[in-house]
């Protein structure tokens, strides 16, 4: 029931549009990285889409937080906290992961405050769990006042009998903390037990400095009881410096006894540091002289020369001509794009290259961009539109309005470009790898050299592999091996692969991609699929070019690899696979549902919700529920995590298709674990399809 | 160009400080796309250290040589970075001519009026200058509309409009390739609620626009242009 409520809140938030009246003061963050005073929250939301990383520490503990403004009113946070000497003087520190959500029920207007409801640590161990309702109002243009009621940890000092008791006596007592395996929704605690009234004030002293004071109702009870924290006062004071762009620095005097500091970095996925990007100018449009269309040319004699010219011109811009079909009035080219993140930009640049090379009679350009190893879309442009709207105001939309986006044509009819197959590409690059959240050492980093290569044998058919040798860092002290769970150790002995697999064969596969019909894509991959598994994987995806919906199915037979990541296998094998639905809601929100059998043989489903910014940032969360019970799953109760990916072109300002980042799991166990196959189909084809093309069409003339 | 990169890199590094993942792309060799990433990082980093004092690209040019050359050149300076370069004319389409620098920057003029740039970051994607152009040619005009297209962080075209006043400043002269050219100077003052800028146009006696200072965008600022080929 409460899970459904939380879901309802999320859906409501996704549907909420921009608030009519924005809050007048940009909110600052507190010790927890979320909009707040110091330890207490405010009712404000961060600017929509903002992603923040925050570090804070005080004498007695600290935390690192990732905070994302999921929608204009909905704020989410993931936090990794530490408490020193948790069980008394001299005892070791403890680490804890937790999630927060805050929803702004009312935006601020001239006459009413902003009001928000929030939950801290609602699926962690419950160590920090609290709930609150809070209101914040701005007075003038510098002062804000905040008042709220808190439960749980926020009602652990100055508390009184829960007023919700008028509805049900059960609200008056908060059950004892029994977190079991942790990581579950422990809704029996929410809004129960004593409540307390907290409050605070912020004053914007000048453009760079905000002063803060609050009355805290967080009792730090266990730390005080264990004699490791002095809570001499409920008043906290602080100052936040915002003079550096996208950085907040805070200093605090806490509880009459200690000081704390914090630093918060903000990233706005909608605001690239290099604005539109430093991409070099494309080849300019070469217009045809008037009347030139009528001039005759011998199509058969010219074909191979023209193909050679197109190859050269496109190569200069980082493209690879795969095939060409030339007629007197039309051309169809299939082109591999390895450089430009936005397919619209690739199409625009390829089109400009074509104007420089094709005889004047060729009026129709059909461009089939390939971002991965499969062509799925045909973009049809008129050469005279390109000539007309080149450097014209609103030229991108003028062209889009006259552009056809359809499924790519058949392979038949395309003349292959020279020297296409076999083709070897290779690279030797440094790599880094890291492990997070191991209580023995929360962050381990290794780095070394990776050699990788792809040998393309025919269209869709390729051989790829990578080997690594670690040079720096080690995982010898990563000894938390195979979990104590009754499940096969399909992922939990990952540390052992890190320890023993050096040098390692990371993957070695033969892959075949094909397109059985306009809207269907297929993939078959065999070999050493990933660091821990090898076998065979087959996938089929239905995704029409103009559709927001995709449906897929994947089945794999895999065997677990030896710990040394060489060629051998262990005894464990499994048939695993999923049926998947993908949906693009628009406004950058995406959902993916996978239902099937996981690596340990457990059966269930994974829901992934992401916000995929047009700039290429991808931020989201996923959760997997299977028929494995919480007790069998072990710590964390079920598999879940975050997705954070930043596009390299956003960071560097140079055209680039890569992203950095990936999945962040609070803990990796064996339930709900999926195979990690390279080149799954959906993301390969989606960004050449209409929704993505249209969203980034502004780059057509870039 | 190095300076542009430098500016962007400094900003990016600050913003990306906690994206430790940048470590993943430090250097390398080969022909895979990842190698391109590594080289981009390297060139950005090495640009931070090289304080290149470029020689004036006009120093090696003479009037005679240029008059006889097959190619057409223009001189462009971006005081904000600063950068200076000669660009060669590479295309003409409708009333537009496009000029290219050796490091891949392109600028497009419509009869001397800047309508597009590429390679500076916050580029001018296109501009509607029909009204401005005729007023500047005339030498006067009040409340004339100027429209600029930019690319925003979400890859959408963002349109900014300005209201401009145009007046003739009077007679003056400019020196182009050691030659003093008498000119008539016209100024264009533009504003919208967020931005204000002032362009300047120098017309030779035959009506050619031989030199100008035209605004591109908030982060790139102005472009100073001189027509080297006649």
Residue of A nearest to B127 (CA): A393
pLDDT per residue as tens digits for the range A581-622: 999 998 899 999 999 999 999 999 999 999 999 999 999 999
pLDDT per residue as tens digits for the range A122-168: 876 667 789 999 999 999 889 999 999 999 999 999 999 888 988 88
pLDDT category of residue A183 using cuts at 50, 70 and 90: low
Say whether B104 and A281 touch across the interface (CB within 8 A).
Answer: yes
pLDDT per residue as tens digits for the range A330-341: 999 999 999 999
Question: What is residue A6's predicted lDDT score, i.e. its pLDDT?
Answer: 35
Average pLDDT of A411-424? 87
Average pLDDT of A300-318? 91
pLDDT per residue as tens digits for the range A195-230: 999 999 999 999 999 999 999 999 999 889 988 899
pLDDT category of residue A12 using cuts at 50, 70 and 90: very low
Of chain A residues 127-166, which have a CB less than 8 A from chain B?
none
| Burial letters A552-564, b for 16+ CB under 10 A, else e | bebbbebebbebb
Give A430 or A694, the one with higher predicted confidence.
A694
Q: Which of A274, A284, A615 sits opposite B8 (nearest CB)?
A: A274
| Burial letters B97-111, b for 16+ CB under 10 A, else e | bbbbbeeebbbbbbe
Closest approach of B179 to chain A, Cα-based (Å)? 32
Average pLDDT of A483-497? 87
First to last CA, chain A: 50
Average pLDDT of B150-175? 96
Model confidence at A639: pLDDT above 60: yes
Task: Tell me whether residue A124 is exposed, middle or buried, using C-beta atoms within 10 angstroms of its C-beta: 0 to 12, 13 to 18, 19 or more.
Answer: buried
Bridge partners, A198 (sequence order): A148
Model confidence at A1: pLDDT above 60: no
pLDDT category of residue B2 using cuts at 50, 70 and 90: very low
Find chain A residues with C-beta within 8 A of B20's C-beta.
Answer: 432, 434
Question: What is residue B48's predicted lDDT score, i.e. its pLDDT?
Answer: 53
Residue of B nearest to A55 (CA): B18
**Cβ distance A217 to A231 under 8 Å?**
no
Angstrom distance (rounded) from CA A601 to CA A575: 8
Say whether A278 and B121 touch across the interface (CB within 8 A).
Answer: yes
Say whether A651 and B12 touch across the interface (CB within 8 A).
Answer: yes
Q: Which of B25, B96, B219 sits opposite A275 (nearest CB)?
A: B219
pLDDT category of residue B9 using cuts at 50, 70 and 90: very low
Q: Please indicate if any CB of chain B lies within 8 Å of the CB of A477.
A: no
Closest approach of B139 to chain A, Cα-based (Å)? 24
Average pLDDT of A253-277? 93
Give A189 or B225, the one with higher predicted confidence.
B225
Model confidence at A15: pLDDT above 70: no
pLDDT per residue as tens digits for the range A458-480: 889 999 999 999 998 878 888 77
Model confidence at A9: pLDDT above 50: no
Of chain A residues 343-372, which have a CB less than 8 A from chain B?
344
- How crowded is the C-beta side of B199, counted as CA atoms within 13 Å? 28
Angle, nearest 10°, between helix axes A343-355 and A299-315? 130
pLDDT per residue as tens digits for the range B184-215: 999 999 999 999 999 999 999 999 999 999 99
DSSP state, residue B103: T
| Top-tier CATH class for B2-227 | mainly beta
Q: Please indicate if any CB of chain B lies within 8 Å of the CB of A428.
A: yes
Residue of B nearest to A616 (CA): B154
Average pLDDT of A11-33? 58
Question: What is residue A234's predicted lDDT score, i.e. its pLDDT?
Answer: 97
pLDDT category of residue A185 using cuts at 50, 70 and 90: low
Average pLDDT of A292-316? 86
| ipTM for the complex shown | 0.87
Average pLDDT of A638-660? 91
Closest approach of A624 to chain B, Cα-based (Å)? 26
Among the listed residues A573, A611, A603, A584, the one whose alpha carbon sits nearest the alpha carbon of residue A673: A603
Average pLDDT over chain B, rounded to whole?
A: 84
pLDDT per residue as tens digits for the range A526-548: 999 999 999 999 999 999 999 99
Question: What is residue A512's predicted lDDT score, i.e. its pLDDT?
Answer: 96
pLDDT per residue as tens digits for the range A340-396: 999 999 999 999 999 999 999 999 999 999 988 889 999 999 999 999 999 999 999
Average pLDDT over chain A, rounded to whole?
A: 90
pLDDT category of residue B28 using cuts at 50, 70 and 90: very low
Angstrom distance (rounded) from CA A533 to CA A193: 49
Angstrom distance (rounded) from CA A382 to CA A364: 5
Stretch among A21-25, A204-208, A433-437, B17-21 having the lowest mean pLDDT? B17-21
Angstrom distance (rounded) from CA A544 to CA A685: 10
A282 contact partners, CB below 8 Å, separation of at least 6: A317, A348, A349, A352, A353, A702, B106, B118
Q: SS3 of A633, please? A: helix
Angstrom distance (rounded) from CA B226 to CA B217: 19
pLDDT category of residue B45 using cuts at 50, 70 and 90: low
Model confidence at A178: pLDDT above 70: no
A378 contact partners, CB below 8 Å, separation of at least 6: A332, A366, A367, A368, A404, A405, A406, A407, A408, A409
pLDDT per residue as tens digits for the range B143-157: 999 999 999 999 999
pLDDT category of residue A87 using cuts at 50, 70 and 90: confident
The residue ranges of every structural domain in chain B are 2-227
Bridge partners, A101 (sequence order): A76, A119
Omega cis (within 30) before B82: yes
Tokens read off for A263: 């630093």
């Amino acid at each position: 029931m409460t899970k459904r409520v939380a879901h309802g809140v999320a859906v409501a938030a996704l549907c909420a549009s921009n608030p009519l009246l924005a809050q007048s003061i940009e909110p600052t963050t507190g010790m927890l990285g979320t909009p707040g005073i110091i330890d207490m929250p405010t009712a404000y939301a961060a600017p929509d889409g903002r992603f923040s990383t925050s570090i804070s520490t005080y004498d007695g503990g600290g935390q690192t937080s990732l905070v994302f403004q999921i929608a204009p009113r909905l704020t989410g946070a993931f936090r990794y906290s530490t408490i020193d000497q948790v069980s008394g003087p001299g005892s070791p520190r403890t680490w804890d992961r937790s999630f927060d959500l805050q929803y702004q029920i009312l935006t601020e207007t001239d006459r009413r405050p902003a009001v928000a409801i929030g939950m801290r640590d609602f699926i962690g161990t419950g160590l920090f769990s609290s709930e609150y309702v809070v209101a914040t109002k701005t007075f003038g243009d510098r002062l804000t006042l905040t008042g709220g009621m808190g439960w749980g940890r926020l009602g652990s000092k100055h508390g009184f009998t829960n007023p919700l008791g008028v509805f049900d006596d059960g609200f008056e007592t908060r059950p004892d903390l029994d977190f079991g395996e942790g990581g579950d929704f422990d809704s029996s605690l929410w809004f129960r037990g004593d409540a307390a009234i907290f409050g605070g004030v912020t004053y914007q002293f000048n453009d760079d400095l905000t002063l803060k004071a609050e009355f805290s109702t967080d009792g730090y009870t266990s730390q005080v009881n264990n004699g490791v924290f002095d809570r001499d006062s409920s008043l906290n004071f602080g100052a936040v410096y915002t003079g550096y762009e996208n950085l907040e620095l805070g200093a605090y005097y806490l509880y009459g006894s200690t000081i704390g500091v914090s630093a918060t970095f903000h990233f706005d996925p909608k605001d690239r540091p290099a604005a539109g990007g430093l991409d070099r100018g494309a080849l300019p449009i070469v217009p045809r002289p008037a009347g030139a269309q009528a001039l005759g040319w011998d199509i058969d004699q010219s074909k191979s020369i023209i193909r050679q010219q197109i190859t050269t011109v496109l190569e200069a811009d980082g493209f690879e001509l795969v095939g060409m079909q030339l007629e007197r009035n039309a051309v169809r080219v299939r082109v591999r794009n390895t450089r430009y993140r936005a397919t619209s930009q690739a199409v625009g640049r390829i089109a400009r290259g074509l104007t420089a090379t094709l005889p004047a009679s060729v009026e129709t350009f059909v461009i089939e961009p390939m971002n991965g190893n499969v062509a799925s879309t045909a973009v049809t442009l008129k050469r005279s539109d390109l000539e007309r709207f080149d450097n014209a105001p609103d030229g991108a939309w003028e062209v889009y309005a006259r552009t056809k986006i359809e499924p790519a044509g058949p392979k038949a009819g395309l003349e292959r470009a020279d020297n296409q197959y076999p083709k070897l590409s290779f690279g030797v690059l440094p790599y880094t790898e890291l492990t997070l959240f191991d209580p023995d050492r929360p962050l381990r980093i290794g780095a070394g050299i990776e050699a990788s290569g792809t040998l393309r044998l025919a269209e869709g058919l390729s051989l790829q592999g990578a080997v690594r040798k670690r040079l720096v860092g080690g995982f010898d002290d990563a000894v938390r091996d195979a979990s104590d769970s009754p499940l096969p150790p399909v992922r939990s002995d990952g540390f052992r692969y890190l320890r023993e697999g050096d040098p390692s064969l990371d993957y070695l596969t033969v892959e075949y991609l094909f397109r059985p019909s306009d809207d269907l894509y297929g993939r078959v991959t065999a070999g050493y699929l990933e660091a821990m598994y090898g076998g065979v994987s087959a996938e089929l995806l239905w995704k029409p070019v103009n559709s927001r919906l995709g449906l897929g199915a994947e089945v794999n037979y895999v065997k677990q690899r030896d710990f040394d990541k060489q060629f051998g296998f262990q005894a464990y094998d499994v048939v695993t696979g999923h049926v998947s639905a993908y949906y693009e809601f628009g406004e950058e929100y995406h959902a993916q549902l996978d239902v099937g059998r996981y690596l340990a043989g457990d059966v269930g489903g994974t829901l992934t919700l992401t916000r995929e910014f047009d700039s290429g940032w991808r931020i989201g969360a996923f959760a997997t529920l299977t028929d494995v019970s919480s007790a069998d799953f072990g710590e964390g109760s079920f598999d879940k995590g975050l997705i954070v990916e930043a596009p390299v072109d956003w960071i560097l300002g140079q055209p680039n298709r890569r992203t950095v980042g990936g999945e962040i799991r609070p803990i990796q166990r064996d339930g709900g674990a999926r195979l990690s196959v390279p080149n799954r189909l959906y993301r390969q084809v989606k960004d050449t399809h209409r929704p993505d093309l249209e969203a980034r069409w502004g780059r057509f003339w870039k | 160009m190095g300076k542009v990169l430098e500016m962007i890199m400094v900003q990016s590094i600050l913003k990306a400080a906690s994206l430790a993942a940048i470590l993943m792309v430090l250097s390398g060799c080969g022909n895979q796309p990842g190698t391109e990433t590594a080289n981009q990082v390297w060139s950005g980093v090495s640009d931070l250290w090289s304080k290149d004092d470029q020689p004036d690209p006009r120093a090696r040019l003479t009037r005679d040589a240029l008059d006889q050359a097959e190619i057409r050149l223009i001189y462009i300076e971006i005081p904000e970075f600063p950068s200076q370069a000669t660009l060669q004319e590479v295309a003409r389409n409708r009333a537009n001519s496009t000029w290219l620098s050796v490091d891949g920057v392109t600028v497009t003029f419509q009869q001397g009026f800047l309508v597009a740039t590429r390679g500076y970051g916050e580029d001018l994607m296109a501009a509607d200058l029909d009204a401005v152009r005729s007023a500047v040619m005339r030498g006067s005009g009040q409340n004339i509309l100027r429209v600029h297209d930019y690319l925003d962080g979400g890859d959408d075209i963002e349109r900014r409009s300005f209201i401009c006043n145009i007046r003739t400043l009077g007679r003056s002269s400019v020196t182009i390739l050691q030659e003093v050219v008498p000119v008539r100077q016209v100024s264009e003052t533009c504003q919208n609620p967020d931005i204000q800028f002032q362009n300047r146009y120098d017309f030779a006696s035959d009506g050619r626009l031989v030199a100008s200072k035209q605004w591109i965008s908030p982060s790139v600022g102005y472009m100073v242009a001189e027509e080297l080929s006649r």
